Structure 1
Amino acid sequence: MPHSLHNTLQSFALPGGGSFRYYSLPALEAAGVGPVSRLPVSIRIVLEAVLRNCDGKKVTEEHVRQLANWQAVADRVDEIPFVVARVVLQDFTGVPLLADLAAMRSAAEAAGRNPNVIEPLVPVDLVVDHSVQVDVYGTPDALRQNMLLEFARNRERYQFMKWGMQAFDTFKVVPPGVGIVHQVNLEYLFRGVQNKDGIAYPDTLVGTDSHTTMINAVGVVGWGVGGIEAEAAMLGQPVYFLTPDVVGVELTGALREGVTATDLVLTVTELLRREKVVGKFVEFFGAGTASLSVTDRATIANMAPEYGATMGFFPVDDKTVAYLRGTGRLESEIEAFEAYFKAQRLFGVPQAGEIDYSRQLKLDLSTIVPSLAGPKRPQDRIPLPEMKKTFASLFSAPVAKNGFGKTGAQLSERVRVGYVAEQPPADNQHHSQTGLPRHEREMIDNRPTPDQVDTGHDVGVDVGHGDVLIAAITSCTNTSNPGVLLAAGLLARKALEKGLTVKPHIKTSLAPGSRVVTEYLEKAGLLQPLAQLGFALAGYGCTTCIGNAGDLTPELNLAIVQQDVIAAAVLSGNRNFEARIHPNIRANYLASPPLVVAFAIAGTVHIDMEHDPLGLDRDGNPVYLRDIWPSSEEINALLPFALDPEVFRRLYRDFAKDLDLWNAIPAPVGQVYSWPESTYIACPPFFDGFSMQPGTIGDVKGARALLILGDSVTTDHISPAGSFGEGTPAGQYLREHGVERADFNSYGSRRGNHDIMIRGTFANVRVKNLMLPPREDGTRVEGGFTLLDGRQVSVFEAATAYQQRGTPTVVIAGEEYGTGSSRDWAAKGTQLLGVKAVVARSFERIHRSNLVGMGVLPLQFKGTDSAETLGLTGTETFDVLGVDEELKPQQDLTLVIHRADGAIEHVAVRCRIDTPIEVDYYRHGGILPFVLRELLQGAA
């Protein structure tokens, strides 16, 4: 099909002279193809990609017509092939993806084909941001010490990444110590409008992290996918999705004094979760939207996964252009960006009535109040004045109602901890630091301890319910926003002036999303006050939000576990699911950076900050939050420090130049990886027995339930994450391979080794398998356990036994199965455990797609059917009937339940293979074999 479809290939002029060609959406509308100008802006950007990539094969003229005639309210049956401009990865998901690519090259070589056929066809950037842990905190050298430990732990992974950089032409790595992928993406990787062969087109992308949506703040269409989908996109496959509903959110009014962007996004998250926008595009419009800074928009866009949307999209306008200029982009890039969007008539925030949306919501910014969210989910917003009352209420509420199951009388109980004055060893004190310079080994072993920081205090500490033990300024969500970070620094300075302090046993940390942050905080004179309160620079990375808070002291851990203390963490992140922040901290709250500092000072979440003092000043007078809260005028006076183009250019010009630890890592060479023996990187088994012809698909017969789960099971519950002990299957595996406990590292860092990851799948300490009988007190056993022949065993042990017997397994689940980060290992681990189908009440978008991508059948209960209404106990066997070569998207299949008493029940379930291409993926045994066969056939 000619690329001049409907004469849409036209030109636009640049202000400084010259021009670019582009595929004109106004010309498409003028040709009578569809009412393009009434479409949501996000749909129009996808339409441009479909139009530009129309080749008559994967992308056809019919696809163009379907999307150009998108209806605001319609059945969503049209499958859109979306070819993205680039892919971004973080290291936890990027390393296994690179391992898959390397395995594909090995498989190609074994098949006698040219392995170099396996090459990313679009630019790929991997940002190493998930590996740093907060082992050392509150000291001037915390950053350096944490990085030394990071490199000691991750040397094999970093060598593998360096191999990837030299093996693949389009694969680049942003090293550790530069920043968080989404902030680096916003500040540097995003260059505005792209061009190839003289044709300009808007930046679009997918990323292997659900918070990829932060880039929606600058008009980029992009969202998080699993590593499996991202890999296919890298290798030339379109990202296929059904035309979405687009919910328009009109923002009106303005934020009141003292209200932050964090308060706004927590309110938006609560609103949109309630309005059920899961799987939909959300697009912001109206005067309130236009008034928001790009960094405020980024805060809202970032948390799209928390409110369940595919995207939280903001159109391009003058503020976007100003942001590009303030962050040091080239003037030629800025001019092309502005000219392109104006030529496409996509410039400016739409007002009410200009766009057709599937549904419209309205939010008055003036109604937003200071808030937190928690203690277990980001959508559970708590207005700040209600914090004390809400914690007390949840403290005594039943566990089944999201509470902690205590009595009101227990709330005031406290435990005396004989606090040993040293920071927790985690795996750092006794870590093998071979290869580190002697002075740096000594620096780790002789670091300052809390008793040295807090001179004159008893080394004992009282711990009570609601006590804050972790306080972290962390995460892409808020560290990308200068307004809230400057507010935190100002509050810290005012607190110090009043004589307020933070108790040294509280694990405080500052982990910004880029080096730009510490530069502007230092210039504003606020880095030092934060450090004096304990919020010293600990690393540039996700840290606490991803589960890398590091451990507490053994004494604190012991007290929490033995006395069942409901301790708290407060962090400026986006995720607070159970056991994510720390396995022993059960009350986790999201808050703005200044509130994180305030709660650290108060030392408890059981406080009404409107009426209760944070502490006493030097004269013994009470100090309230209002006494130290910075004004908008104070914050705005410092904002110019945050958008200095020269700082951005200098820090990103050669970001590896000063990274001595990265530069010292040797880089292996060769186009095919040699797979040296390693407990970090192993050749994944997804291509074992690979042949050019796929097998056949058919019914599942005689399956046993591996787990029966309730509602809101997240990918944190499914996918291995965080630390693990010697007694776990993964720990036992490492010990058998000669790895000391101190060198275990985390599941995330070992994602490149399937033998470890499969042992950690469904092993989260908060997993509640309903197959296990309740205890005498009615509570459920928690952890990665199931029943095998009536015995309680680990999920891994049971899965291994079933695979040895040739018995397929299924997982039964409730609502919102797979909510959370876009973790490909939640699907990979499920497949490797031998699970053939997951039957749930409903699925989260990314995880459902990933299951299909790994050849696992997602099935959805219909009507009111559930594990509970069907009385499933795990003693049954199951058949799934209707799976054959004629399988159609979303068709009904039959789940046959064979009960232990001989009764048989037939239940209709919906096959959640949603699109025709997903049927192809499933037929091929997953997306990876499908893509490999296609690439090798194309090269034949």
Structure 2
Amino acid sequence: MLDTYATRDTLTANGTTYRFASLAKLGQQFDLKRLPYSLKILLENLLRHEDGVTVTAKEIEAVARWKAKAEPDTEIAFMPARVVLQDFTGVPCVVDLAAMRDAVVRLGGDATQINPLAPAELVIDHSVQVDAYGSESALEKNVEIEFERNQERYSFLRWGQKAFNNFKVVPPRTGIVHQVNLEHLARVVFAGEVDGERWAYPDTVFGTDSHTTMINGLGVLGWGVGGIEAEAAMLGQPSSMLIPQVVGFKLTGKLAEGVTATDLVLTVTQMLRKLGVVGKFVEFFGPGLKHLALADRATIANMAPEYGATCGIFPVDQEALNYLRLSGRSEEQIALVEAYAKAQGMWHDEHAVEPEFTTTLELDLADVKPSLAGPKRPQDRVLLEGVQKSFHDAVGGLTASRRKKNGDAAGFQNEGGSAAIGNEANSLGEGSVRVSKGGDTFDLKDGSVVIAAITSCTNTSNPAVMLGAGLVAKKAAARGLTAKPWVKTSIGPGSKVVTDYLEKTGLLKELEKVGFYIVGYGCTTCIGNSGPLPAEISKGVGEGDLAVASVLSGNRNFEGRVHPEVKMNYLASPPLVVAYALAGTLDIDLTRQPIGQDRDGKDVFLKDIWPSNQEISDTIAGAINPAMFEKNYADVFKGDSRWNQIASPDGAVYQWNDSTYIKNPPYFDGMTMELDAVEDINGARALGLFGDSITTDHISPAGSIKKDSPAGRFLISKGVDPKDFNSYGSRRGNDDVMVRGTFANIRIKNLMLDGVEGGYTLHVPSGEQMAIYDAAMKYKEEKTPLIVLAGKEYGTGSSRDWAAKGTLLLGVKAVIAESFERIHRSNLVGMGVLPCTFKAGENAQSLGLSGKERFDITGLDGGDAKEATVVATADDGSKKTFKVNVMLLTPKEREFFRHGGILQYVLRQLAGRKAA
């Protein structure tokens, strides 16, 4: 490696000497004090990887001379130190690596060339589902079902753990990937051998889940990428990126009484969404940091995808060291982190000169108020006192249509404006169904909370809100309150440490008293693994066409994500999840109306059962210690008896079989060392015309598989009983299933059809409406290329590589949108699909496109064009011509596109021959 600026130096920590790329030495030539913390990490990464080809002195100087206000225009290569995977996105990564071993052999290489070069750790956390709940046996029942459903996947992962070097698997029933990462996997500063010398360098990470940013709370730079970009990083390929703009977020003051970290993150999310930070780094600083526990910082960092930033990072300071010590890291590691951060000018000092930022926001923590977000988007924050009105506004259209149908002119509320909670008449005067369940008879109504879930990495990593929920439950149980019988309650801890401290404080029993039992260690409800509603509830919802709700402590509440029968979803802190389970409805103002009545018939208000900040702090102080972490992570990769009893094959090359879970994908079929020419796209048809905010939840196969869907019909043809379908997420390792579920979301709306919801399109030549997959296959038979047209923020949401993989396998050559979410655009490029954007001020509607035209996209110039021409020809021969921006943003991306994708590029490199 080169060292143009002579930055090699040594530091000593705990008696051990390390080599490192010194920013202090570079600072003798450039003014680095003004650089934000996150850019110092990027700068060190370039210094350490300078080779004169991928990383040159020019790129190093560009970061060192970073202009805060300038538009990003300089490409750099970033190489993360490690990769973390969750099993839904991780299984297809391992499938692709296995397929690459086959392919590299066909191209004349050696199978063992395909290994992760950077440490790769996969945490199985997405497979558990809430089938059982509300009892002490729920956890065991759900784990048993999980292992039954996923034997083939788990066998394959056990093969991968043996076959690949530098690859480890954290077995099921351990925790959520981001919490395991925070509590155990993260190093903050790496110590490793480089060319025979012991080096120290920052821990940086790519993750195949968008909430990888949670680790930013510990000062680790990392973000979510698509599976294909993660695979490339695992295989030693740098990721190309533009030097980002950095938004500074200054925090002052401290949170007021009764306000949680969840309230804070929902406020931050709303502020940053309003500003617009897509593609930017966000960096938190200021005197308020000393009042934020590490878990609070991780809560804020976790939701960077929701506020749209690439990352939301906090610098290393004493609180970070305190957390490393609390979570059982070694004193040697802690000493290295402190010495390295101080030597590199990465240690946070609130009295130091503030770095330069592209722009700065400021928030006094004392101004944060109790909040939720919903009913459909995480950035739609609503104050606790305004939730009832938010619910009424959301359900208004439905109730209005019912009033019109029934001739009922009833208003939303009873006389005086208060809701009739608990009375037989619904407060809306309609939308009510009588239901009997387990000996209880009750009225299920619009706004009834049918799911209350303490779930997801966002909050289950945070002892303050978890113990706060336990204290709310304790006070409620003492007054005789319990969750309403129509509420499906659950706790999905992010790690076993959470269970330990809930048990140690006695608060797990208190949560159980009000109906909240542990159902599994995984993401559960937040990713749609909420499981089925009880049959009686499901029937009532359907009969009344009810707009029922969920309240969850998650980070995502997009339409159709939590549960297909639940139309309104609100994000809330764990204590508020408990409160809404007790109330059983959104049609209540918890700030002034009673949550219920105690044994003596006296009203119980939220303020009566809400713990003080001091109560929570005192409980935390006596609840958590390093021994808990050391015990739970001592054998974290070993797994329990169920895991170790799973049979798995041996050998460097996987022996594929006729599994409906694991299949050799077709990406490398017919691949040679020679490149095909990049040609213009002619005579294409639109597979879909979509509006704004089409998320990866809409595009990527997710949730349950319907037996009458293309994927369901395929599985039945393979002899799979519908009860054994499992979820799309669990079958991500089989392209036959996944391609059939792409664009199959029940809530997606294809504007080529008139008001139709679901994964349907128009096969234009025949005029027939059909499933998108069926139409795509028909077009494939007709040798017709496909495109997709879309609005703003296309691909928002989780970093789901199948949103891009499925798009490719359907035959889509290009996607033209008003704007793209960062990860999804990158994933499309990585799969060889061309992303384009309409010119500013233009979209499909303004151009008068119906989606029924034939499309020619010309002027691609072998992938080098920045702009292309689109000609849309209608059936009557009339033409509309317009320009689009070609969103291949860097030379590396153009190279990937010419190869047909990033994996093909890597394969050709590893096969040992230079591609044309």
Query: TM (normalized to structure 1)?
Result: 0.93
Matches within 5 A, 1:296-335: 296-335=296-335
Q: Can you list the C-alpha shifts for 1:162-184, whole angstroms capped at 9, x where unaligned? A: 00001101110000000000000
* RMSD of equivalent CA atoms: 1.7
Q: Which residue among 539, 556, 564 is the counterpart of 2:520?
A: 539
Offset of residue 657 of structure 1: 5.3
**Residue-by-residue CA offset, 1:637-676 (whole Å, 9 max, x unaligned):** 1113454111101110013556121111112111000111
* Counterpart for residue 560 of structure 1: 541
Q: Aligned partner of 1:357: which letter?
A: F
Answer with 162-171 or 189-198: which moved more: 189-198
Go from structure 1 to structure 2 and tell me whether the alpha carbon gap of 1:222 and 1:832 turns closer, same or farther (over 3 Å shift). Answer: same
User: Residue type of the partner of 2:53?
Assistant: K
Q: Give the letter for the 1:9 counterpart.
A: R
Structure 1 equivalent of residue 171 of structure 2: 175
Q: Which residue of 2 aligns with 1:790?
A: 767
How far off is 1:509 after superposition?
0.2
Compared CA separation, residues 201 and 899, structure 1 to 2 (3 A): same
Partner of 1:434: none
SS of the equivalent of 2:45 reads: helix
Query: What is the match of residue 447 of structure 1?
Result: none
Contact 1:504 1:534 in 2 (8 A): no
Counting only pairs closer than 5 Å after superposition, residues 910-921 of structure 1 correspond to structure 2 as 910-921=885-896
Equivalent pair of 1:395/1:407 in contact (CA under 8 Å): no
- Stretches (4+) displaced over 6 A: 404-408
Which position in structure 1 is the counterpart of 2:343?
Answer: 343
Distance 2:584 2:17 in 1: 60
Structure 1 stretch 346-355 or stretch 689-698: which is displaced more?
Answer: 346-355
User: 2:103 is matched with which residue?
Assistant: 107
The answer for the alignment partner of 1:903 in structure 2 is 878
Alignment check: 8 A CA contact 2:692 2:794 kept = yes
Residue 557 of structure 2: aligned partner = 576
In structure 1, the residue matched to 2:6 is 7
One-letter code of the match for 2:804?
Answer: A
Aligned-residue offset at 1:558? 2.7
Distance 1:604 1:342 in 2: 51
Deviation at residue 556 of structure 1 after TM alignment: 2.1
CA offset at residue 557 of structure 1?
2.0
Say if 2:1 is the partner of 1:26: no
Deviations 1:77-114 (A, max 9, x none): 11110111000000000000100000000111223321
Bigger mean CA offset, 371-380 vs 562-571: 562-571
Of residues 602, 606, 622, the one that matches 2:583 is 602
Provide the residue aligned with 2:808 in structure 1.
831
Q: 1:344-743, aligned counterparts within 5 Å?
A: 344-350=344-350, 353-397=353-397, 409=411, 411-419=428-436, 421=437, 451=438, 457-458=439-440, 460-655=441-636, 659-743=640-724
Within-5 A mapping of 1:28-107 = 28-30=26-28, 32=29, 34-107=30-103
Shift of residue 925 of structure 1? 0.5
C-alpha separation between the residues in 2 aligned to 1:351 and 1:362?
17
State the distance in 2 between where 1:70 and 1:77 align.
Answer: 11
> Could you tell me whether the CA contact under 8 Å between 1:395 and 1:408 is conserved in 2?
no
- Match 2:854 to one of 877, 888, 893: 877
Q: How far is the alpha carbon of 1:416 from its aligned partner?
A: 3.3
User: 1:103 is paired with a residue of what secondary structure?
Assistant: helix
CA 1:275–1:149 in 2, change beyond 3 Å: closer, same or farther?
same
SS of the aligned residue for 2:882 comes to strand
Aligned counterpart for 1:744 among listed residues 716, 725, 732: 725
Aligned-partner SS, 2:27? helix
> Retained in 1: the 8 A contact 2:79–2:239?
yes
Residues 906 and 349 of structure 1, relative CA distance in 2, 3 Å threshold: farther
1:116 aligns with 2:115: no
Does the aligned pair in 1 maintain the 2:673–2:913 contact within 8 Å? no
CA–CA distance in structure 1, aligned partners of residues 392 and 71 of structure 2: 45
SS at match of 2:97: helix
Q: CA deviation at 1:349?
A: 4.6
Q: Where does residue 433 of structure 1 map in the other structure? A: none
- For 1:69, the aligned partner's letter is R
- Opposite residue 753 of structure 1, the aligned amino acid is N
My pick for the range that moved more, 66-75 or 336-345, is 66-75
Deviation per residue, 1:470-522 (Å, 9 max, x gap)? 00000000000000000000000000001111123311000010000010011
Task: Give distance in 1, aligned partners of 2:176 and 2:838.
Answer: 39
Further displaced range: 843-852 or 690-699: 690-699
Amino acid at match of 1:36: L
In structure 1, which of residues 786, 801, 808 is the aligned counterpart of residue 785 of structure 2?
808
Equivalent position of 1:196 in the other structure? 192
Structure 1 residues 843, 314: CA separation in 2 closer, same or farther (over 3 Å shift)?
Answer: same
What is the rounded CA distance, in whole Å, between the counterparts of 2:430 and 2:781 in structure 1? 51
What SS does structure 2 have at the residue aligned with 1:328? coil
Secondary structure at the aligned position of 1:5 is classed as coil
1:350-407: CA deviation from partner (whole Å, max 9, x where unpaired): 568521100011111111000000000000001001111121122215899xxx9998
Q: Look up the SS of the partner of 1:867 in the other structure.
A: coil
Partner residue in 2 for 1:865: 842
Q: Is 1:135 paired with 2:131?
A: yes
Aligned to 1:847: 824
Q: CA deviation at 1:5?
A: 3.2
Q: Give a deviation string over 1:311-362, Cα, whole Å, max 9, x none.
A: 0000000000000000000000000110010111111155685211000111
Q: CA deviation at 1:755?
A: 0.3
Pair 698,938 (structure 1): closer, same or farther in 2 beyond 3 Å: closer
Contact map agreement 2:595 2:606 (CA 8 A) in 1 = yes
What's the secondary structure of 2:5's corresponding residue?
helix
AA of the residue aligned to 2:730? S
Q: Distance in 2 between matches of 1:297 and 1:761?
A: 35
Q: 2:897 aligns with which of 911, 922, 933?
A: 922
CA distance in 2, matches of 1:399, 1:621: 32
Query: Hey, what does 2:747 align to over in structure 1?
Result: 766
Partner residue in 2 for 1:446: none
Contact 1:520 1:641 (C-alpha < 8 Å) held by counterparts: no
**SS where residue 620 of structure 1 aligns?**
coil
Secondary structure of the structure 1 residue equivalent to 2:796: coil
Q: Deviations over 1:179-208 (max 9, x none)?
A: 000000000001231122211001001000
**What SS does structure 1 have at the residue aligned with 2:687?**
strand
Does the Cα contact within 8 Å between 1:134 and 1:548 map onto a contact in 2? yes
Distance 2:641 2:622 in 1: 28
Distance 1:350 1:75 in 2: 28
Measured in 2, the distance between the counterparts of 1:910 and 1:836 equals: 15
Q: Is the 8 A contact 1:317 1:347 kept in 2?
A: yes
Q: Report SS of the residue matched to 1:38.
A: coil
Letter in 1 for 2:27: E
Structure 1 residues 407 and 257 mapped into 2: Cα distance closer, same or farther (>3 Å)? farther
1:825 deviates by: 0.1
- Partner of 1:441 in structure 2? none
Residue 847 of structure 1 aligns with an amino acid whose one-letter code is: H
Q: Is the 8 A contact 2:170 2:639 kept in 1?
A: no
Q: Secondary structure at the match of 1:838?
A: strand
TM-score by length of 2: 0.95
Q: Kindly, what percent of the aligned residue pairs are identical? A: 55
Offset at residue 554 of structure 1 (A): 2.8
**Which segment is superposed worse, 105-114 or 215-224?**
105-114
Which shifted more, 288-297 or 838-847? 288-297
SS in 2 for 1:909: strand
Which amino acid in 2 is paired with 1:218?
A: L
CA shift for structure 1 position 298: 0.1
Unaligned runs of 5+ in 2: 413-427
Q: Partners of 1:407 and 1:715 in 2: how far apart? A: 40
